[in-house]
């Protein structure tokens, strides 16, 4: 192999390994802009503070948001936000998949959901993933 092709081959291999196949999907059943009070249900087995990242993303949208176990939900809550995260380890812990769902309190009906799957060696930070899932759900 000639010396001039080595850098090109190295760049192609680097792009293949770092690019990954990230997929993002979101679905709104109801326009979320009419709701103001959100409660993010904290997952007791999740230690990465994704609940706090979701609260921060909702507050950036101008909403009132809190998090905690469902028993601590304020009585004036309009929407419950639940999430399921999958983390993996590849020389460090990183978020590989995040599913977020928005439900009414009573009766429990799904309002919206979003999912991001990022099997990349260079994944985005969790806060950026959360922001990327929440913001599109509030666009008109």
Higher pLDDT among residues 90 and 53, named by residue: 53
User: What's residue 16's pLDDT?
Assistant: 52
**DSSP code, position 32:** G
User: What's residue 14's pLDDT?
Assistant: 54
Helix (H) or strand (E) holding 22: none
Instruction: Tell me the pLDDT tens digit for each residue of 27-74.
Output: 999 999 999 999 999 999 989 999 999 999 999 999 999 999 999 999
Residue with tokens 């080595």: 6
Q: What is the largest CA-CA distance in the chain?
A: 70
**DSSP code, position 33:** G
User: In which band, very low, low, confident or very high, does the pLDDT at 21 lie, cut at 50, 70 and 90?
Assistant: confident
User: What's residue 22's pLDDT?
Assistant: 79
User: What's residue 8's pLDDT?
Assistant: 64
- Which pTM value belongs to this model? 0.84
ω before 126 within 30° of 0 (cis)? no
Q: Is the separation of the CB atoms in 55 and 133 below 8 Å?
A: no
Residue with tokens 């009414």: 104
Instruction: Tell me the pLDDT tens digit for each residue of 92-128.
Output: 889 999 999 999 999 999 999 999 999 877 889 999 9
Express the helix, strand and coil content of the chain in percent, nearest 5 each: 30, 35, 35
Enumerate domains of the chain plus CATH numbers: 20-137 (3.30.160.670)
User: What's residue 121's pLDDT?
Assistant: 72
- Does the structure show a pLDDT above 60 at 91? yes
Distance CA 72, CA 80 (A): 12
């Amino acid at each position: 192999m000639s010396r001039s092709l080595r850098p090109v081959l190295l760049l192609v291999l680097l792009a293949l390994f770092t690019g990954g196949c990230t997929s993002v999907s979101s679905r709104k059943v109801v326009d979320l802009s009419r709701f103001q009070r959100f409660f993010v249900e904290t997952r007791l087995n999740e230690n990465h503070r994704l609940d706090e990242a979701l609260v921060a993303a909702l507050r950036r949208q101008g909403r009132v948001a809190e998090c905690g176990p469902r028993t601590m939900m304020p009585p004036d809550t309009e929407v419950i936000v639940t999430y399921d995260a999958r983390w993996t380890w590849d020389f460090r812990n990183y978020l590989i998949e995040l599913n977020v769902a928005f439900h009414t309190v009573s009766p429990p009906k799904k309002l919206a959901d979003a999912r991001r799957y990022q099997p990349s060696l260079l994944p985005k930070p969790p806060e950026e993933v959360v922001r990327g899932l929440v913001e599109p759900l509030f666009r008109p």
